[in-house]
Structure 1
Amino acid sequence: MDYLARLAGLAVGAVLVLPCAGQASGKPLIDDPAYTRPQRLVDVGHGRRMNIYCLGFGSPTVILDAGMGDSTISWALVQPRVAARTRVCSYDRAGLGFSDGSSAPGTADNIANDLHALLEAAEIAPPYVLVGHSAAGMYIRVFADRYPREVVGMVSVEGSHEDQSVRGWAIGAPGQQAKWDAWLDEYEACIGAARRGLVKGTPEYAKCVGEPDPRFSPAINAAQARYGATFRWQAAAASERRAVFYASAEQTRKTRRHFGDIPIIVLTHSPYPKARDETRQERNERTLLWETLHLEVAAMSTRGVNVIVPDSGHYIQYDHPQVVIDAIQQAVAIAQEDGEEHVPAR
């Protein structure tokens, strides 16, 4: 449900969906029943609960933050493998997945505050390696800027950049921002539709909830459809969408621009295919910009690296999960080595 997939190539338009190995065999890629229900609901204050799912043991703890509108299932092919090395937790942001909604807007600042409150309430102590997909590429940077003593590494998987919109909208014919704003307005109508009650089989339901994902089992798709039709999910998704290139982008710009020597590994799917409404030159410019933005994030550390991942879609963690697993394990290994160097000799 990550609507930033529409803009990951810096153009309003098509979503690229690539076939997965599991689908080719007729078997869903993901069928773990853990994603059909909340795993651990933690009170983060005033009775509001957030869902968190942790596996494994060890330090640092890896925190997995999904893309816009997504849930813990984004990491289903990654989390169990990382758990063989250290503790790893995925979670649902406010109003998404199985987490309760919040009256606060879905901005990067509020998301970072929520995550910190969740980790404290769940007694998951730092240090953390933060992993963010798509919009969460900005969210983890805001968290790391706010709590620098707690973060020892970051992995950005196709992460959004605070200048992605303003620099991308300058490419091609004028009106790119207007297209995005019109799309936001169109989908915010889903909030009212959910309040009235979204009915399966209607055009409103098809637009606001969507079709089953062939990567997931029927049980997982049913669970996603149930919460996707709720007012709290539609309101939370709309709030994040509205904020991502405006309030969240501005908040991310205010974060510090250098994170010292902690590992920052950026994974970039490139090139994106040419959309129907753009020229080859425009696509080439957008591809170069997407790679440049990711290089800028990697350059925020003396141990930053940008890895180009070809033959993938926006969801590298589905199309090439081993690439994401390797990046996380590399960041964890560096953090563990650094930790050992700072342990006083006895």
Structure 2
Amino acid sequence: MQQHAADSLGLLPPIRALQTRQGRLGYMVSGKGPSTILLFSGAGMSLMGWEPLYPQVEQLGTVFGWNRFGMQGSDPPQERQTGPVVIGSLRELIGYVGLEAPYILVAHSLGGLFANLFARLYPEEIAGVLFLEATHPADHALLKKHESHLTRALARMLALPQVLFKPNLQTELACVADTVREIEAAGPFPPVPLTVVTGGLTPRSWLMSPGAVGARRAHQQELVRLSPLGEQVIAQKSGHFPQMTEPDLVLRVLAELVAIS
């Protein structure tokens, strides 16, 4: 079920839909090669957030992404979107599509929590992990405190009205504490190649206080230490969306990860 590479820069492959037990989910799959790359979007982010990586990312392997429940092309959620629920629907979907392990997980923002849990629950299926400004389990208090600021930042970055992503954002943020507990109860993170890309730009004061910025940067370093093969890359020209502001850097780092995984 692979697609040919997109014909022009930044053009996503066709988005399809499949009926799962919880409802219809929109997804895309394209590229070719021995690696299977799974894209985990942040809360409130649709597949459009990965556009700057296309079509080059398709040269690195078979690339799969999906819109979680509540985003465009996917049905509204029928139950609370905790980690096991999100991962369960993902595994059902990739089973229907026919993707096979091992996987390289590429996760942005809140998608990092889901990828973190996925890697712990199914360590034998993981070849490598790329965290892009990923949420650390200890970030959940910051997320709740700055929810309104995050909504404004997303609306500005994506140039979209809040009505298109705010319901998904609120639904997933409401389950963060549950997902964090599930991560803590799961097994250890696998000792696989791990790269943490952290934005080098300091968020504006209206978005995050200096104290919160310092805590989050320390948490990014803790993510690196999840694996003995972990390393950190600073995206000097980026804030919270390195895949959009420095796609060439993200593609280079992902290519390096694919090569050693």
Query: Secondary structure of the residue that 1:126 maps to in structure 2?
Result: coil
CA distance in 2, matches of 1:277, 1:138: 21
Matches within 5 A, 1:76-225: 76-166=51-141, 179-180=145-146, 183=148, 213=158
Give the C-alpha shift of residue 235 in structure 1: 4.2
Greater percentage in strand: 2
The answer to whether the aligner puts 1:43 opposite 2:19 as a matched pair is yes
Deviations for 1:179-199, whole angstroms, at most 9, x for unmatched residues? 558x59xx9xxxxxxxxxxxx
Query: Secondary structure of the residue that 1:311 maps to in structure 2?
Result: coil
CA distance in 2, matches of 1:252, 1:79: 31
Which structure: larger Rg?
Answer: 1
* TM-score normalised by the chain length of structure 2: 0.84
CA distance in 1, matches of 2:157, 2:223: 34
1:40 and 1:311, CA in 2 relative to 1: closer, same or farther beyond 3 A? same
Q: Which residue number corresponds to residue 64 of structure 1? A: 39
- State the AA in 2 paired with 1:132: A
- Which of residues 235, 242, 245 is equivalent to 1:316? 242
The answer to whether the aligner puts 1:254 opposite 2:185 as a matched pair is yes
Q: Which residue number corresponds to residue 3 of structure 2? A: none
Which structure is higher in RCO with an 8 Å CA cutoff and minimum separation 6? 1
- Which of residues 290, 296, 309 is equivalent to 2:216? 290
CA distance in 2, matches of 1:134, 1:234: 15
- State the AA in 1 paired with 2:182: Q
1:132 and 1:210, CA in 2 relative to 1: closer, same or farther beyond 3 A? closer
- State the AA in 1 paired with 2:136: H
Q: Which residue number corresponds to residue 240 of structure 1? A: 172
Query: Secondary structure of the residue that 1:293 maps to in structure 2?
Result: helix
Query: Secondary structure of the residue that 1:83 maps to in structure 2?
Result: helix
CA distance in 1, matches of 2:58, 2:24: 24
- State the AA in 2 paired with 1:158: E
Q: Which residue number corresponds to residue 266 of structure 1? A: 196
- State the AA in 2 paired with 1:269: G
The answer to whether the 8 Å contact 1:59/1:86 transfers is yes
Query: Secondary structure of the residue that 2:175 maps to in structure 1?
Result: helix
Give the C-alpha shift of residue 212 in structure 1: 9.3
- State the AA in 1 paired with 2:190: F
Give the aligned length. Answer: 251
Give the C-alpha shift of residue 286 in structure 1: 3.4
* TM-score normalised by the chain length of structure 1: 0.65
Identity of aligned residues (%): 23
The answer to whether the aligner puts 1:301 opposite 2:233 as a matched pair is no
Query: Secondary structure of the residue that 1:247 maps to in structure 2?
Result: helix
CA distance in 1, matches of 2:204, 2:32: 43
Give the C-alpha shift of residue 155 in structure 1: 0.4
Report the RMSD for the aligned CA atoms in angstroms.
Answer: 2.9
The answer to whether the 8 Å contact 1:77/1:317 transfers is yes
Deviations for 1:57-95, whole angstroms, at most 9, x for unmatched residues? 112211111110111111111142111121111111112
The answer to whether the 8 Å contact 2:112/2:136 transfers is yes
5+ long unaligned stretches in structure 2: 1-8
1:80 and 1:277, CA in 2 relative to 1: closer, same or farther beyond 3 A? closer
- State the AA in 2 paired with 1:90: G
